[in-house]
Amino acid sequence: MTTTDEILASAPQRSEQLATPELTATPQRKLAVLTCMDARLDPLRMLGLRVGEAHILRNAGALATDDAIRSLSVSQRLLGTQEVLVIMHEQCGLLNASEDDFKAALAESGVLPSWRLGAFDDLEATLAASVARLRASRELPFRETVRGLIYDPDTGALREPSP
Ligand SMILES: [Zn+2]
């Protein structure tokens, strides 16, 4: 039995608790969060938010990629959000990963992707670059509200690096 099979088998037990007929697709706190897919991160609990209050976008590294900008653009232009938080974290899988090794492994599989891994060696500098990219993205009408935070999965602490 795969994890997916187990999830499907137990889904009916969760449905009543999950149902949100009182909510709409518009996030109540007008916030969009871009964070990493790291399994240790629970963005709603981390931010003290509830379901329905914010958009949560996740990718490897919490990077401001073209597709993250696409989703943030939908979030602001179609669904009313006005603030953006980018949350990177300590011990990220992309920290000190090798762009070249990853590229070589893909090439061995016969793939030359148009995207890059996004490996980085300086967490704060990478966060600052993502924040700067979003603040310069005219796809986002509310780009001046973009801020960056760093989370530590070991301690649960969330901090805003000084600019
Ligand atoms: Zn990560």
48: DSSP letter: T
CA of 101 to the centre of ligand 1 (A): 18
CA of 54 to the centre of ligand 1 (A): 20
CA of 55 to the centre of ligand 1 (A): 18
Given phi > 0 = left and psi -120 to 50 = alpha, else beta, which region is 137? beta
Q: Domain locations in the chain?
A: 24-159
DSSP notation for 49-112: --TTSEEEEEETT----HHHHHHHHHHHHTT---EEEEEEETT-TTBT--HHHHHHHHHHTT--
User: CA-CA distance, 47 to 51, in Å (whole number)?
Assistant: 11
CA of 59 to the centre of ligand 1 (A): 8
pTM over 0.85? The answer is: yes
CA of 137 to the centre of ligand 1 (A): 23
CA of 94 to the centre of ligand 1 (A): 6
* Residuewise pLDDT in 10s, the chain (163 residues): 999 999 999 999 999 999 999 999 999 999 999 999 999 999 999 999 999 999 999 999 999 999 999 999 999 999 999 999 999 999 999 998 999 999 999 999 999 988 989 999 999 999 999 999 999 999 999 999 999 999 999 999 999 998 7
- pLDDT value for 53: 98
Taking the alpha carbons at both ends of the chain, their separation in whole angstroms is 49
32: DSSP letter: E
- pLDDT value for 162: 84
CA of 12 to the centre of ligand 1 (A): 31
CA of 58 to the centre of ligand 1 (A): 10
CA of 22 to the centre of ligand 1 (A): 33
CA of 118 to the centre of ligand 1 (A): 11
- pLDDT value for 98: 92
**Fold held by 24-159:** Beta-carbonic Anhydrase; Chain A (3.40.1050)
Q: Which two tokens stand for residue 1?
A: 């039995």
- pLDDT value for 22: 96
